Amino acid sequence: MYDVNNPAHPTEIVGRAALANQDDVRDAIEAAHRAFPAWSAMSYAERAERLTAAAAPLAADETRLQELIHLFTREHGKILRESAIEFSRFGDRFAWPVAQAARLAEDEKLSGPPRDTIITRQPRGVASQIVPWNWPISLLGVKAPPALMTGNTVVIKLAEQSPLAPMQLLKMLADGLPPGVINVIASPPSEIGDEMISNPLVRKISFTGSINAGKHIMKVAADTLKAITLELGGNDAALVFDDAELDEEAIRRFVNGSFMTAGQICMAVKRIYVHRSRYDEFVEKFSQEVDRIVVGDGTDPSVTMGPLNNERQLKVVQSLIEDSRQSGATVKELGQVADETTYREGYFQRPVVITDCDPNSRIVQEEQFGPVVPILPFDTDDEAIQRANDTEFGLCSSVWTADRDRAVSMARRLEAGYTYINGHGPMAQDHRGPFGGMKQSGIGRVLGFEGMNEFMEPHSISAPPGWLF
C-alpha cells in the first residue's frame, strides 16, 4: 500500500492504494484470459445489456457520484467542475459504444464471382489499457467501453498519482460483470516492469502517455506482434486569422481550451499564432481573461484553476518559464491567488502568457503540459500553416475565423489528427469522431467507430459463388 497525497496540500493524505507488482499483473492478465471465451461468445446485444446494467448503479446514486467527484478533486487537484465533467464524459463515452450493438452485428456481404464472402469482426482478446494521470476517468471512457463492447476483456493500469476515484468507479462496473472481465491495478512502471505489454496472453495494447514511453511500448510489443494504439503528446497550434470573432465568449472558449486542468491536457492549446493585424488586440483580450483565473484548492467553489498534479510536472513547467525569461521573452504571470499560504505549499503555478518569443524556443517547440502558452504573430495564411506544421507533434489544432470555407480549407492543410473550428480542447470534442495523432503524437485512433475497430480483427469467410447468398 502507498499514500495518495493532495497536490493542493502535499502533506495531506487523501487515501491509500494497493501497489501492484509483476505477480499481480500476471494474475490480472490470466483472469482476463479465463473470462474472455464466455464474454466474447455473447452477442453484441447481450453485452450491451450487461454493460448497461453494470453502469446503472453509478447513474442512480447521485450522493455516491458527488462523493467520488470530491474525492477525485482532492487526489488529482483539478477543480470540482472539471471533476464533474470527467465523470459526465465517462458516461457519454460509455453509452455511445453500447448503443452501437446493431451496427457492430452487421456483416458486410460480397456476392460472387469470384466468391461469396462475409466480412465480419472478432475481438482480439485480452486488452492492456494504460491510463495517464491527467484525465484518467475521461480516458477510461475512451478505452474500456469500446474494448468491452466488442468482446474483449481488459486489464487496466491506473497512474499511481490519482487512482482512488477511478478505482472505485471501475469496481462498481466490475461488480456488475462476470469475474475477470475488468481487472484493475495501480502502480508506477518501475514496479510492474513490462509485464502488461510483453505477456503473451495480451493481444492488444492501448496506451495514453508520453512519446518516450510510447516508443518503448512499440519496441517491447514487437516481440509478440501485438496490436497497439498509442495516443501520445501534443503541441497543439491555434491559428487566429484576421477575420476571427474575438468577442468575450470566443475569448473565454480560447482561455478554457488553453488553461483547463492547469493546461495538463494533451489536446490543450499549446501555441497560439495570430495574424499581425489582430495580434495586439488578441494579446490584450486574452491576457485580460486569463487574469480573471483564480488559482487555489480545487474544492473551493471560487477557484477556477487548481494546482499541477505533481511536483515533477511543476518543475518542468517552471523550467520552461524560466528559460523563456532568460531568452528575453516577455513573461506575464497572471491570475488571482485564492489563498497565499495554500499557494506556497501546493504544486501551484499562476497562468502565464508569453510574447516576444523566438519561434524556435523551448516554450514553442516543446509540450509544456501546464498553465503557460506562447503567442506569436504571422503575416500570411501559408506562414501560419507552415509554423503550425513545423513540429514533431500532430495531435490537435484549431482554426479561428468567421469564414466557413476558409476554416475548412485551412483545417485540411493542418497535420493533425483532430482540428477544431472556433473552439479547442475537451469542451469542443465530439466523441463520435475518431481521435488520435499523426507523426510522433501517436498511432491508431480512439473514439468513434474507428476507435471500436481498433479492438477487433476483420474476419473474412468465403465460399463458392451462389453458395452463401
Q: Do residues 456 and 150 touch, judged by C-beta distance below 8 A?
A: yes
Please name which of 315, 318, 292, 314 lies closest in space to residue 305, comparing C-alpha atoms.
Answer: 292
Q: Give the angle subtended at the CA of 437 by the CAs of 434 and 441, to the nearest 5°.
A: 155
Q: Do residues 7 and 77 touch, judged by C-beta distance below 8 A?
A: yes
Please confirm, yes or no, whether 86 is among the known catalytic residues.
Answer: no
Element (H, E) at 411: helix 404-413
Catalytic annotation, pick one of 160, 266, 289, 454: 266
Q: Is 444 left (phi over 0), alpha (psi -120 to 50) or beta?
A: left
- In whole angstroms, what is the distance from residue 200 CA to residue 213 CA? 20
Q: Do residues 182 and 36 touch, judged by C-beta distance below 8 A?
A: no
Please name which of 55, 26, 51 lies closest in space to residue 39, comparing C-alpha atoms.
Answer: 51
Q: How many Å separate Cα 358 from the centre of its chain?
A: 29
> How far apart are the two ends of the chain, measured CA to CA in Å?
59
- In whole angstroms, what is the distance from residue 309 CA to residue 36 CA? 36
- In whole angstroms, what is the distance from residue 123 CA to residue 154 CA? 12
Instruction: Give me the torsion for CA of 19, 208, 323, 259, rounded to 10°.
Output: -100
Q: Give the angle subtended at the CA of 401 by the CAs of 400 and 407, to the nearest 5°.
A: 90
- In whole angstroms, what is the distance from residue 17 CA to residue 160 CA? 8
- In whole angstroms, what is the distance from residue 91 CA to residue 74 CA? 21
Give CA separation, 308 vs 7, 315, 316, in Å: 7, 10, 11
Please confirm, yes or no, whether 357 is among the known catalytic residues.
Answer: no
Peptide bond just before 113 cis, omega within 30 deg: yes
Q: Do residues 81 and 92 touch, judged by C-beta distance below 8 A?
A: no
Q: At what angle do helices 136-149 and 164-175 cross, to 10 degrees?
A: 20
Active site residues: 231, 266
